[in-house]
């Protein structure tokens, strides 16, 4: 089931839908005039799971294990366990810094610490959508779920945490390849932000149009923002470096605006 079944912030004026959200193909400009790259950090096209590369065999093995073990019963157990929010208490920025120790084995485009990718994504969005501060913050926090790989969060295996999202309890669609924390901690981010965080890795949906029969009207509206976000999530995986100390005060101010000082994880 795709829909988040509990009350969420209203999505409307706050999320700025007066912006031309249909212009998904807007030219992306990164720091220093960097244009949308044609290749990833390894010199290959993005999300190419067939090209021979330094990461190919590891990525292939990851998805084989993922598709075998990520079952309906397993997902139910994990939702129950991590829904308790009793692992750690810390701020959003403290959690971001933990990602310095994480490398995503499912990603064929990136082998740098995840915090680099978070800031690249957030800064690229900030440049093109300066008035949508909620979307900047969403770019920063969209991958924080990867801390589940770390010992203090249970040290789950990679196949249980990262990789593309897909529904369980139904047949695989041919298009698949090899957030709740924010809501329960009373974030004021709009529902579009929660949708982006939850489904940004659901490439079968937002890139290939699979599983749309599982969507409701709110999902359809929020998908417009996810399609915008995905461009920045994917194409900011580059060697463009971000000065963390320079941008940190801005993101700390957004965290203070939309989140409590400490969250239960």
To the nearest 10°, the Cα dihedral for 43, 45, 46, 48? -110
Alpha-carbon gap, residue 124 to 207, rounded angstroms: 20
Has 206 been labeled as part of a binding site?
Answer: no
23: Cβ contacts below 8 Å, ≥ 6 apart: none
Question: Cα(61)–Cα(146) distance, rounded to whole angstroms?
Answer: 19
Measured CA angle at 174 (ends 172, 217), to 5 deg: 70
- Any known ligand binding at 91? no
79 annotated as ligand-binding:
no
Residue 233 labelled as part of a binding site = yes
262, 85 in Cβ contact below 8 A? no
Residue 199 phi, psi (nearest 5): -120, 10
Establish whether 117 is an annotated binding residue: yes
Is 47 annotated to bind a ligand? Reply is yes
Closest CA to 110 of 236, 229, 230: 236
CA–CA gap between residue 169 and residue 98 (Å, rounded): 32
142 in a labelled binding site: yes
Return d(Cα 229, Cα 232) in angstroms, integer. Answer: 5
Q: Coil, strand or helix: which one is 48?
A: coil
Check whether 163 is labelled as a binding-site residue: yes
133 is in an annotated binding site: no
In angstroms, the CA 93 to CA 193 distance is 18
Binding residues for substrate: 47, 104-106, 146, 163-164, 200-201
Binding residues for Fe cation: 117, 142-143, 200, 233
Binding residues: 47, 104-106, 117, 142-143, 146, 163-164, 200-201, 233
């Amino acid at each position: 089931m795709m829909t988040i079944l509990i009350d969420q912030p209203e999505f409307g004026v706050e999320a700025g839908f007066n912006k031309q959200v249909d212009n998904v193909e807007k030219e992306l400009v990164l720091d220093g005039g960097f244009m949308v790259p044609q290749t990833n950090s390894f010199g290959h096209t993005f999300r190419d799971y067939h090209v021979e590369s330094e990461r190919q065999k590891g990525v292939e093995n990851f998805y084989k294990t993922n598709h075998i073990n990520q079952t309906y019963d397993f997902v139910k157990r994990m939702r129950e366990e991590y829904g308790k929010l009793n692992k750690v208490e810390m701020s959003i920025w403290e959690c971001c810094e933990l990602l310095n120790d994480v490398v995503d084995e499912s990603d064929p485009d990136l082998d740098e610490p995840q915090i680099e990718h978070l800031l690249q994504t957030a800064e690229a969005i900030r440049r093109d959508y300066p008035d949508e501060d909620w979307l900047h913050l969403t770019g920063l926090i969209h991958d924080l779920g990867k801390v589940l790989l770390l010992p203090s969060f249970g040290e789950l295996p990679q196949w249980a945490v990262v990789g593309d999202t897909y529904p369980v309890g139904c047949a695989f669609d041919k298009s698949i390849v090899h957030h709740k924390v924010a809501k329960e901690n009373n974030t004021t981010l709009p529902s579009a932000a929660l949708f982006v965080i939850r489904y940004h890795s659901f490439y079968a949906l937002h890139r290939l149009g699979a599983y749309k029969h599982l969507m409701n009207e709110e999902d359809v509206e929020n998908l417009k923002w996810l399609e915008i976000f995905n461009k920045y999530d994917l194409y900011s995986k580059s060697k463009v470096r971000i000065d963390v100390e320079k941008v940190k005060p801005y993101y700390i101010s957004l965290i203070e605006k939309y989140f409590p000082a400490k969250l239960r994880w």
